Amino acid sequence: IQSGKSVLEQSSLDDFLETAALAQRNFDALRGEAYVMQGDVQVVAEKITSTRDAEAAAHSRRVLVPVPRRPAWDKGTTAEELGVSEGQAFVQWRRDLAALEEDEGLVMTPYEKNLDFWRQLWRCLERSDLVVQILDARDPDFYRSRDLERYVSEFGSKKFLLLVNKSDYLTPDLHAKWSAYFAEQGIEALFFSAMSELRRQQDSGSEVRWKPDETQESEDEDESEEDEGGEVTVIPEEEEEHGTAESTDVPVPDSDEDFMCDCEQLLREIRTRLCTAGEAEAAESSTTVQDERKRIVGFVGYPNVGKSTVINALWGSKKVSMSRTPGKTKHLQTLDLPGTDITLCDCPGLVFPSVAASKAHLAINGTVPYDELRDYSPAVRLIIEKVGIRTLLKKYSCAAQMKDSAERVGEASIDECTTFLAAFACKRNHYLRLHVPDNSWAARRILKDYFSGNLLHCELPPGCVREEEEELLEAEVVDDDDFDDMGDFVKESGKPQKLTKRA
């Protein structure tokens, strides 16, 4: 495994070789001998469940999944001895996960298998006085690692804080529900928007060298697919029509909500947790605190939840590399805040082991680089299910193309996901050879828009049901008396007509 590359999935051979190397085991090849393995072949059929049931089951079992612990060491432990013990502990942790998956009947999602990334987390936790776990406000429960909170508490003296970043995507109602959810669990969470703070600093005229990262967006608009798939029919691209994102299921963000804390309030909360009650008062009355040792605040979380952006907002200018590509930060980075006794520590993003509803949830939440996906269909289908096909057709102005595709293939055999991607590609004039719509480009664009917030969808806390879903559930309750006169609607030939429930 390359030290600077995140590894979520491996082939069986690579996995075996890597495990053998970490466990310090040697194997000899057997030649001239054949072994016949006999046993009953068991075929396990994949269970088909609804997204709602799968997400509920994943939430109920997510607390069971542990994160790896660093083995004990002291000043007399050599670097070689520590490396061997870390490798063996990591292999044992992976075996425990496999046993947990088998015993509990869980389906593990891909998680970080590069030991070097976990070493960065261990060092960040060990040196930090306060550990801040950053969550994405669009789905905080997905990005939260409960065992990480337990791991921090095992150190004894370290403090822990949940920071819900990108909170400008939330409506006041969603914020109230998530606040109540965390309060019920006895956890205090702060709501913050690093990008809003950076824009505010830029607009205020302060010396901020940060500029909005629009390179990825421009690539989305202008990227050419000529290098993929051989020959491509090039057609001039018309001006894009984004439409509106207004929908009962898609909240419109408001960056001026009072529930979000700003940088000054966040720093105040950090100081309060770092200091005792008396030290907190001294810190509030003085901008410069004299101390022999810097207090370290570690920022941890999934890739692309905004750890580096939060640090940049606290610093006031771009000091840490930012990108929309998951896993931009490869190594532990530290930054001293001028005029304070605080050092900020940026840990590389980690995909924690979890029991997510499906691998598609990892893709739409940006924890897996979408350019590396082999099959985009499950992720796009999940987006369609969450956002709604009507909202997508309205936003991307491709209802006419969708209708044309349905008429060509017939509504009975239509695949909504494939047809929508083809309609979107036709609308934006992206074709492959022989004028075939480039569904791959359309899928990548939908995934990028979903993760960047251009196609906005925010999840509710576990146990909450949207008003629209409640209305649908009530409408599904059918009274038998409503169809007592069904015979009046049946033709003499005995062939029933299409019936609808009367109001």
User: Where residue 309 sits, what CATH number does that domain have?
Assistant: 3.40.50.300
181 and 307 inside one domain: yes
Residue 220 in any domain: the answer is no
Where a domain ends, among 286, 311, 346? 346
pLDDT averaged over every residue in the chain: 73
Could you give the number of structural domains in the chain? 2
Q: What is the pLDDT of residue 394?
A: 92
State the DSSP H helix or E strand holding residue 165, giving kind and residue range, or none if neither.
strand 159-165
**Phi–psi pair at 149, nearest 5 degrees:** -60, -40
Residues 325 and 385 in one domain: no
Instruction: Give yes or no: residues 393 and 409 share one domain.
Output: yes
Residues 46/115, Cβ–Cβ less than 8 Å: no
Average pLDDT on 354-361 reads 76
pLDDT, residue 215, reads 37
Alpha carbon 458 to its chain centroid, in Å, reads 12
Q: Would you state the pLDDT for residue 361?
A: 82
Structure tokens belonging to residue 50: 């609804």
Task: Say if residue 161's pLDDT is above 60.
Answer: yes
- Please give the Cα distance from 76 to 87 (Å, whole number): 19
Residues 410, 437, single domain; the answer is yes
pLDDT digits (tens, 9 = 90+) for 19-68: 666 665 655 555 556 666 565 544 444 455 566 665 666 566 566 788 99
Question: Is the same domain home to 290 and 437?
Answer: no
Statement: residue 142 has pLDDT above 70: yes
Report d(CA 351, CA 7) in Å as an integer: 10
Distances (CA, A) of 182 to 87, 160, 187, 279: 36, 14, 5, 28
396 is in which domain, residue-wise?
Answer: 226-251+358-452
Has residue 18 been placed in a domain? no
Examine the fold and report which residue of 300, 325, 346 is the final residue of a domain before the chain moves on. 346
271 found inside a domain? yes
**Are both 295 and 171 inside the same structural domain?**
yes
Residue 299 lies in a domain: yes
Domain C-terminal end among 346, 372, 400:
346
- Residue 393, in any domain of the structure: yes
Contact yes or no for 82/73 (Cβ under 8 A):
yes
The answer to whether residues 243 and 277 belong to one domain is no
Does the pLDDT value for residue 141 go beyond 50? Answer: yes
Claim to verify: residue 285 and residue 400 sit in the same structural domain:
no
pLDDT in tens, 415-446: 788 889 999 999 999 999 888 889 999 999 99
Angle at 132 between CA 128 and CA 137, to 5 degrees: 165
What Rg value do the Cα atoms of the chain yield, rounded? 26
Give yes or no for residue 365 having a pLDDT over 60. Answer: yes
As a whole number of angstroms, the distance between CA 119 and CA 332 comes to: 10
Q: pLDDT tens, 283-330?
A: 555 554 444 678 999 999 998 898 889 998 998 754 555 555 444 555
Angle, alpha carbons 114-119-120 (nearest 5°): 100
pLDDT digits (tens, 9 = 90+) for 462-479: 877 766 554 444 444 444
Highest mean pLDDT out of 24-38, 234-248, 323-337, 399-413: 399-413
- Rounded to an integer, the average pLDDT of 89-96 is 91
In this structure, are 306 and 446 located in the same domain?
A: no
pLDDT above 90 for 251 = no
- pLDDT average, residue stretch 338-354: 88
Measure the CA–CA gap between 298 and 130, rounded to whole angstroms. Answer: 6
Between CA 13 and CA 375 the distance in angstroms is 22
In a domain, residue 55? The reply is: no
Q: Based on the domain organization, do 126 and 145 belong to the same domain?
A: yes
Contact call for residues 172 and 257 (beta carbons, < 8 A): yes
- CB burial readout 433-460, b (16+ within 10 A) else e: eeeebbbbbbbbbbbbbbbebebbbbbb
- Residue 426: exposed, middle, or buried by beta-carbon count in 10 A (0-12, 13-18, 19+)? buried
**Residue 373: what pLDDT?**
78
Mean pLDDT, residues 243-258? 44
Query: Mean of the pLDDT values across residues 365-392?
Result: 85
Residue 62 or residue 117, greater confidence:
117
Residues sharing a CB contact under 8 Å with residue 65, sequence separation 6 or more, in sequence order: 97, 100, 106, 108, 147, 352, 353, 354, 355
Q: Are 340 and 289 in contact (CB under 8 A)?
A: yes
> What per-residue confidence (pLDDT) applies to 468?
52
Indicate whether 200 and 282 sit together in one domain: yes
In a domain, residue 43? The reply is: no
In a domain, 67, yes or no: no
Residues 199 and 241 in one domain: no
